[in-house]
Copies of this chain bind each other. A is one copy, B any other.
Protein backbone atom coordinates (compact mmCIF):
# COMPACT_ATOMS: atom_id res chain seq x y z
CA UNK A 1 0.00 0.00 0.00
CA UNK A 2 1.36 3.36 -0.94
CA UNK A 3 1.99 5.60 2.07
CA UNK A 4 2.28 9.37 2.14
CA UNK A 5 4.17 11.71 4.41
CA UNK A 6 1.19 14.00 5.03
CA UNK A 7 0.60 15.65 8.38
CA UNK A 8 -3.18 15.39 8.33
CA UNK A 9 -4.86 12.39 9.95
CA UNK A 10 -6.72 10.13 7.58
CA UNK A 11 -10.47 10.38 7.66
CA UNK A 12 -13.52 9.34 5.74
CA UNK A 13 -13.06 6.60 3.21
CA UNK A 14 -9.26 6.48 3.71
CA UNK A 15 -9.71 5.87 7.42
CA UNK A 16 -12.28 3.18 6.79
CA UNK A 17 -10.00 1.53 4.24
CA UNK A 18 -7.09 1.52 6.69
CA UNK A 19 -9.21 0.01 9.44
CA UNK A 20 -10.54 -2.56 7.06
CA UNK A 21 -7.07 -3.58 5.90
CA UNK A 22 -5.71 -3.71 9.44
CA UNK A 23 -8.36 -6.21 10.46
CA UNK A 24 -8.28 -8.20 7.23
CA UNK A 25 -5.47 -10.50 8.37
CA UNK A 26 -3.54 -9.80 5.18
CA UNK A 27 0.20 -9.17 5.28
CA UNK A 28 0.56 -5.47 4.50
CA UNK A 29 3.62 -4.04 2.76
CA UNK A 30 3.90 -0.26 2.82
CA UNK A 31 5.86 1.71 0.25
CA UNK A 32 7.75 4.78 1.53
CA UNK A 33 5.82 4.99 4.84
CA UNK A 34 2.62 3.36 6.11
CA UNK A 35 -0.49 5.34 5.15
CA UNK A 36 -1.55 7.68 7.89
CA UNK A 37 1.88 7.84 9.53
CA UNK A 38 3.44 11.29 10.00
CA UNK A 39 7.18 11.26 9.55
CA UNK A 40 8.14 14.47 11.32
CA UNK A 41 5.68 14.47 14.18
CA UNK A 42 3.66 12.08 16.26
CA UNK A 43 0.64 10.45 14.68
CA UNK A 44 -0.47 8.47 17.72
CA UNK A 45 -4.23 8.12 17.94
CA UNK A 46 -4.72 8.41 14.21
CA UNK A 47 -5.77 5.70 11.79
CA UNK A 48 -2.51 4.23 10.48
CA UNK A 49 -1.78 1.16 8.41
CA UNK A 50 -0.17 -1.68 10.43
CA UNK A 51 2.46 -2.74 7.95
CA UNK A 52 4.38 -5.95 8.29
CA UNK A 53 7.10 -4.50 6.07
CA UNK A 54 7.88 -0.95 5.02
CA UNK A 55 9.98 -0.39 1.90
CA UNK A 56 11.28 3.13 2.13
CA UNK A 57 13.41 5.13 -0.30
CA UNK A 58 17.07 6.00 -0.04
CA UNK A 59 17.23 6.74 3.68
CA UNK A 60 15.50 6.40 7.01
CA UNK A 61 12.97 9.10 7.91
CA UNK A 62 12.51 10.20 11.52
CA UNK A 63 9.11 8.56 11.84
CA UNK A 64 10.61 5.21 10.88
CA UNK A 65 13.15 5.33 13.69
CA UNK A 66 10.94 5.97 16.69
CA UNK A 67 9.73 3.39 19.19
CA UNK A 68 6.16 4.69 19.17
CA UNK A 69 5.79 3.83 15.50
CA UNK A 70 7.04 0.27 15.83
CA UNK A 71 3.51 -1.21 15.61
CA UNK A 72 2.86 0.49 12.27
CA UNK A 73 6.06 0.09 10.32
CA UNK A 74 7.01 -3.56 10.88
CA UNK A 75 10.35 -4.47 9.33
CA UNK A 76 11.90 -1.55 7.45
CA UNK A 77 13.94 -1.97 4.29
CA UNK A 78 15.70 1.01 2.69
CA UNK A 79 15.72 0.94 -1.13
CA UNK A 80 18.37 2.84 -3.06
CA UNK A 81 16.67 4.92 -5.75
CA UNK A 82 19.69 7.02 -6.64
CA UNK A 83 18.92 10.32 -4.90
CA UNK A 84 21.72 12.86 -4.76
CA UNK A 85 23.64 13.05 -1.48
CA UNK A 86 22.92 16.77 -1.23
CA UNK A 87 19.23 16.17 -1.31
CA UNK A 88 19.63 13.46 1.30
CA UNK A 89 21.46 15.78 3.65
CA UNK A 90 18.52 18.14 3.50
CA UNK A 91 16.16 15.37 4.56
CA UNK A 92 18.08 14.21 7.61
CA UNK A 93 19.54 17.39 8.88
CA UNK A 94 19.58 16.92 12.58
CA UNK A 95 20.05 13.22 13.08
CA UNK A 96 22.43 10.81 11.51
CA UNK A 97 22.22 7.09 11.36
CA UNK A 98 25.08 5.52 13.33
CA UNK A 99 26.43 2.82 11.05
CA UNK A 100 29.47 0.58 10.71
CA UNK A 101 31.67 2.95 8.67
CA UNK A 102 31.18 5.71 11.27
CA UNK A 103 31.94 3.32 14.12
CA UNK A 104 35.06 1.95 12.45
CA UNK A 105 36.45 5.47 12.39
CA UNK A 106 35.88 5.81 16.11
CA UNK A 107 37.26 2.40 17.09
CA UNK A 108 40.91 2.31 18.19
CA UNK A 109 42.35 -1.22 18.08
CA UNK A 110 43.96 -2.24 21.35
CA UNK A 111 47.43 -2.43 19.83
CA UNK A 112 47.37 1.27 19.12
CA UNK A 113 45.93 1.96 22.52
CA UNK A 114 48.78 0.08 24.11
CA UNK A 115 51.02 2.92 23.03
CA UNK A 116 49.31 5.04 25.62
CA UNK A 117 50.30 2.55 28.23
CA UNK A 118 47.12 1.85 30.11
CA UNK A 119 43.50 0.86 29.71
CA UNK A 120 42.30 2.69 32.77
CA UNK A 121 40.37 1.76 35.88
CA UNK A 122 36.58 1.69 35.65
CA UNK A 123 34.33 1.90 38.72
CA UNK A 124 30.83 0.48 38.53
CA UNK A 125 28.54 1.74 41.32
CA UNK A 126 25.29 -0.12 41.75
CA UNK A 127 23.17 -2.75 43.41
CA UNK A 128 20.75 -2.96 46.30
CA UNK A 129 19.06 -5.83 48.13
CA UNK A 130 17.53 -8.04 45.46
CA UNK A 131 19.03 -6.08 42.57
CA UNK A 132 22.67 -7.08 42.69
CA UNK A 133 22.40 -8.82 39.34
CA UNK A 134 22.17 -5.44 37.62
CA UNK A 135 25.58 -4.29 38.81
CA UNK A 136 27.02 -7.77 38.17
CA UNK A 137 25.98 -7.43 34.53
CA UNK A 138 27.40 -3.90 34.28
CA UNK A 139 30.67 -5.02 35.85
CA UNK A 140 31.03 -8.03 33.57
CA UNK A 141 30.25 -5.84 30.57
CA UNK A 142 33.00 -3.46 31.62
CA UNK A 143 35.46 -6.35 31.97
CA UNK A 144 34.52 -7.71 28.53
CA UNK A 145 34.90 -4.30 26.88
CA UNK A 146 38.58 -3.93 27.61
CA UNK A 147 39.06 -1.84 30.75
CA UNK A 148 42.43 -2.50 32.36
CA UNK A 149 40.90 -2.75 35.83
CA UNK A 150 37.27 -2.83 36.91
CA UNK A 151 36.12 -2.27 40.47
CA UNK A 152 32.54 -2.60 41.68
CA UNK A 153 31.11 -0.64 44.59
CA UNK A 154 28.21 -2.57 46.11
CA UNK A 155 26.27 -2.74 49.35
CA UNK A 156 27.23 -5.52 51.76
CA UNK A 157 24.54 -7.85 50.43
CA UNK A 158 26.33 -7.87 47.09
CA UNK A 159 29.80 -8.84 48.25
CA UNK A 160 29.88 -12.60 47.69
CA UNK A 161 27.60 -12.45 44.68
CA UNK A 162 29.97 -10.13 42.88
CA UNK A 163 33.13 -11.99 43.81
CA UNK A 164 31.68 -15.31 42.68
CA UNK A 165 30.30 -13.85 39.47
CA UNK A 166 33.23 -11.72 38.35
CA UNK A 167 36.58 -12.89 39.77
CA UNK A 168 38.45 -10.36 37.64
CA UNK A 169 36.71 -7.45 39.37
CA UNK A 170 37.76 -5.95 42.66
CA UNK A 171 34.99 -5.09 45.08
CA UNK A 172 34.54 -2.18 47.45
CA UNK A 173 31.82 -2.89 49.98
CA UNK A 174 29.53 -0.31 51.54
CA UNK A 175 29.03 -1.17 55.19
CA UNK A 176 25.24 -0.92 54.80
CA UNK A 177 23.65 -4.28 54.08
CA UNK A 178 20.85 -3.26 51.72
CA UNK A 179 21.91 -0.19 49.76
CA UNK A 180 24.75 2.18 49.03
CA UNK A 181 25.43 5.07 51.39
CA UNK A 182 29.06 6.14 51.41
CA UNK A 183 31.58 7.58 49.04
CA UNK A 184 34.68 5.40 48.76
CA UNK A 185 38.04 7.04 49.35
CA UNK A 186 40.00 8.27 46.42
CA UNK A 187 37.30 8.15 43.81
CA UNK A 188 39.49 10.51 41.83
CA UNK A 189 41.79 7.62 41.03
CA UNK A 190 39.18 5.97 38.83
CA UNK A 191 39.48 6.80 35.15
CA UNK A 192 35.74 6.43 34.62
CA UNK A 193 32.68 5.92 36.80
CA UNK A 194 29.32 4.42 35.89
CA UNK A 195 26.53 4.66 38.43
CA UNK A 196 23.01 3.37 38.61
CA UNK A 197 22.36 -0.30 37.81
CA UNK A 198 20.10 -1.73 40.51
CA UNK A 199 21.06 1.05 42.91
CA UNK A 200 17.54 1.89 44.16
CA UNK A 201 16.40 5.32 45.29
CA UNK A 202 16.99 5.23 49.04
CA UNK A 203 17.62 8.76 50.38
CA UNK A 204 21.13 7.68 51.47
CA UNK A 205 21.82 6.59 47.94
CA UNK A 206 20.48 9.83 46.53
CA UNK A 207 22.90 11.62 48.80
CA UNK A 208 25.74 9.41 47.61
CA UNK A 209 24.97 10.35 44.02
CA UNK A 210 25.05 14.03 44.84
CA UNK A 211 28.41 13.65 46.61
CA UNK A 212 29.88 11.88 43.61
CA UNK A 213 28.62 14.47 41.18
CA UNK A 214 30.17 17.21 43.24
CA UNK A 215 33.44 15.47 44.00
CA UNK A 216 34.30 13.53 40.85
CA UNK A 217 34.88 16.19 38.26
CA UNK A 218 35.14 13.93 35.20
CA UNK A 219 32.13 12.91 33.09
CA UNK A 220 29.96 10.28 34.80
CA UNK A 221 27.80 7.63 33.17
CA UNK A 222 24.41 7.65 34.92
CA UNK A 223 21.77 5.00 34.27
CA UNK A 224 18.65 3.35 35.65
CA UNK A 225 17.96 4.15 39.30
CA UNK A 226 20.88 6.55 39.15
CA UNK A 227 18.66 8.59 36.83
CA UNK A 228 15.70 8.19 39.15
CA UNK A 229 17.83 9.49 42.03
CA UNK A 230 18.76 12.41 39.79
CA UNK A 231 15.08 13.04 38.99
CA UNK A 232 14.45 13.36 42.72
CA UNK A 233 17.12 16.09 43.00
CA UNK A 234 16.86 17.89 39.72
CA UNK A 235 19.15 20.72 40.77
CA UNK A 236 21.99 18.21 40.39
CA UNK A 237 21.46 18.25 36.63
CA UNK A 238 23.13 21.68 36.55
CA UNK A 239 26.13 20.36 38.44
CA UNK A 240 26.96 17.47 36.17
CA UNK A 241 30.48 17.58 34.78
CA UNK A 242 30.42 18.52 31.10
CA UNK A 243 30.01 15.55 28.80
CA UNK A 244 28.45 13.44 31.51
CA UNK A 245 26.35 10.70 29.94
CA UNK A 246 22.71 9.98 30.84
CA UNK A 247 21.14 6.83 29.39
CA UNK A 248 17.39 6.94 30.14
CA UNK A 249 14.60 4.87 28.68
CA UNK A 250 11.47 6.94 27.91
CA UNK A 251 9.96 6.65 31.42
CA UNK A 252 13.22 7.63 33.11
CA UNK A 253 13.54 10.42 30.57
CA UNK A 254 10.12 11.79 31.48
CA UNK A 255 10.93 11.64 35.19
CA UNK A 256 14.01 13.76 34.50
CA UNK A 257 12.63 16.23 32.00
CA UNK A 258 8.87 16.15 32.45
CA UNK A 259 6.06 14.22 30.77
CA UNK A 260 6.13 13.91 27.01
CA UNK A 261 3.30 12.90 24.73
CA UNK A 262 5.44 11.04 22.24
CA UNK A 263 8.94 10.18 21.06
CA UNK A 264 9.11 13.16 18.71
CA UNK A 265 8.78 15.47 21.68
CA UNK A 266 11.30 13.46 23.67
CA UNK A 267 13.91 13.75 20.94
CA UNK A 268 13.33 17.43 20.72
CA UNK A 269 13.77 17.80 24.49
CA UNK A 270 16.85 15.55 24.47
CA UNK A 271 18.54 17.77 21.90
CA UNK A 272 17.65 20.89 23.83
CA UNK A 273 18.77 19.52 27.23
CA UNK A 274 22.01 18.07 25.85
CA UNK A 275 22.93 21.48 24.52
CA UNK A 276 21.72 23.39 27.56
CA UNK A 277 23.39 21.13 30.18
CA UNK A 278 26.42 20.30 28.01
CA UNK A 279 25.78 16.61 28.52
CA UNK A 280 25.18 13.57 26.35
CA UNK A 281 21.74 12.00 26.47
CA UNK A 282 21.23 8.48 25.15
CA UNK A 283 17.49 7.90 24.83
CA UNK A 284 16.70 4.19 24.56
CA UNK A 285 14.15 3.03 22.03
CA UNK A 286 13.44 1.06 18.88
CA UNK A 287 16.43 2.91 17.50
CA UNK A 288 18.35 4.40 20.38
CA UNK A 289 18.95 8.13 19.95
CA UNK A 290 22.09 9.92 21.12
CA UNK A 291 21.88 13.70 21.63
CA UNK A 292 25.21 15.53 21.86
CA UNK A 293 25.97 18.92 23.41
CA UNK A 294 26.89 20.30 19.99
CA UNK A 295 23.30 19.78 18.81
CA UNK A 296 24.18 16.76 16.70
CA UNK A 297 22.27 13.54 17.16
CA UNK A 298 22.57 9.94 16.06
CA UNK A 299 20.16 7.06 15.71
CA UNK A 300 21.76 3.69 16.37
CA UNK A 301 21.25 1.07 13.68
CA UNK A 302 22.11 -2.10 15.63
CA UNK A 303 20.15 -4.18 18.12
CA UNK A 304 16.93 -6.18 18.11
CA UNK A 305 13.77 -7.07 20.05
CA UNK A 306 15.62 -9.83 21.90
CA UNK A 307 17.31 -7.09 23.88
CA UNK A 308 13.99 -5.88 25.30
CA UNK A 309 14.77 -7.61 28.59
CA UNK A 310 15.79 -6.52 32.05
CA UNK A 311 19.55 -6.16 32.25
CA UNK A 312 20.22 -4.92 28.72
CA UNK A 313 20.64 -1.36 29.91
CA UNK A 314 23.04 -2.43 32.65
CA UNK A 315 25.25 -4.02 30.02
CA UNK A 316 25.26 -0.82 27.98
CA UNK A 317 26.31 1.19 31.04
CA UNK A 318 29.21 -1.18 31.65
CA UNK A 319 30.37 -0.96 28.06
CA UNK A 320 30.30 2.83 27.89
CA UNK A 321 32.08 3.22 31.24
CA UNK A 322 34.74 0.74 30.15
CA UNK A 323 35.35 2.59 26.89
CA UNK A 324 35.58 5.90 28.77
CA UNK A 325 38.18 4.37 31.08
CA UNK A 326 40.29 3.39 28.07
CA UNK A 327 40.60 6.95 26.90
CA UNK A 328 37.75 7.27 24.44
CA UNK A 329 36.14 10.71 24.51
CA UNK A 330 32.62 10.71 26.00
CA UNK A 331 31.11 11.19 22.56
CA UNK A 332 33.10 8.35 21.05
CA UNK A 333 32.45 6.11 24.05
CA UNK A 334 28.69 6.60 23.74
CA UNK A 335 28.52 6.13 19.99
CA UNK A 336 30.87 3.16 19.90
CA UNK A 337 29.25 1.72 23.04
CA UNK A 338 25.69 1.95 21.76
CA UNK A 339 26.68 0.45 18.43
CA UNK A 340 28.70 -2.52 19.73
CA UNK A 341 26.07 -3.23 22.39
CA UNK A 342 23.45 -3.63 19.68
CA UNK A 343 25.83 -5.53 17.46
CA UNK A 344 26.68 -7.99 20.22
CA UNK A 345 22.96 -8.40 20.80
CA UNK A 346 22.52 -9.19 17.11
CA UNK A 347 25.16 -11.91 17.42
CA UNK A 348 23.39 -13.24 20.51
CA UNK A 349 20.02 -13.33 18.74
CA UNK A 350 21.51 -15.35 15.93
CA UNK A 351 23.14 -17.81 18.32
CA UNK A 352 20.46 -18.09 21.03
CA UNK A 353 17.27 -16.69 19.40
CA UNK A 354 15.54 -13.44 20.28
CA UNK A 355 13.38 -15.17 22.87
CA UNK A 356 16.06 -17.11 24.75
CA UNK A 357 18.91 -14.63 24.52
CA UNK A 358 19.87 -12.83 27.72
CA UNK A 359 21.98 -9.78 28.48
CA UNK A 360 24.63 -12.26 29.68
CA UNK A 361 24.74 -13.62 26.15
CA UNK A 362 25.18 -10.11 24.79
CA UNK A 363 28.19 -9.68 27.07
CA UNK A 364 29.58 -13.00 25.87
CA UNK A 365 29.17 -11.89 22.25
CA UNK A 366 31.16 -8.68 22.68
CA UNK A 367 34.20 -10.73 21.69
CA UNK A 368 32.62 -11.48 18.31
CA UNK A 369 32.11 -7.78 17.74
CA UNK A 370 35.67 -6.80 18.61
CA UNK A 371 37.01 -9.56 16.37
CA UNK A 372 34.94 -8.11 13.50
CA UNK A 373 36.12 -4.60 14.25
CA UNK A 374 39.76 -5.68 14.20
CA UNK A 375 39.45 -7.17 10.79
CA UNK A 376 40.39 -4.82 8.02
CA UNK A 377 37.65 -4.42 5.50
Contact = CB atoms under 8 A, between A and B. Distances in A.
Contacts of A351: 367
A70 B71 CA distance: 48
A351 B367 CA distance: 8
A198 to B, nearest CB: 8
A160 interface: yes
A360 interface: yes
Nearest to A141: B356
A317 interface: no
Interface residues of A, number: 70
Contact of A170 (B130, B145, B150, B159): B130
B164 A165 contact: yes
A168 B353 contact: no
A248 interface: no
Interface of A: 50, 70-71, 74-75, 109-111, 113-119, 129-134, 136-137, 143-150, 157-161, 163-173, 305-306, 308-311, 351-360, 366-371, 374
25 contacts: A70-B117, A71-B115, A109-B354, A130-B163, A132-B163, A133-B167, A133-B171, A137-B167, A145-B355, A145-B356, A146-B356, A147-B309, A160-B160, A160-B164, A161-B163, A165-B167, A168-B358, A168-B359, A168-B360, A352-B367, A352-B371, A353-B366, A353-B369, A353-B371, A355-B366
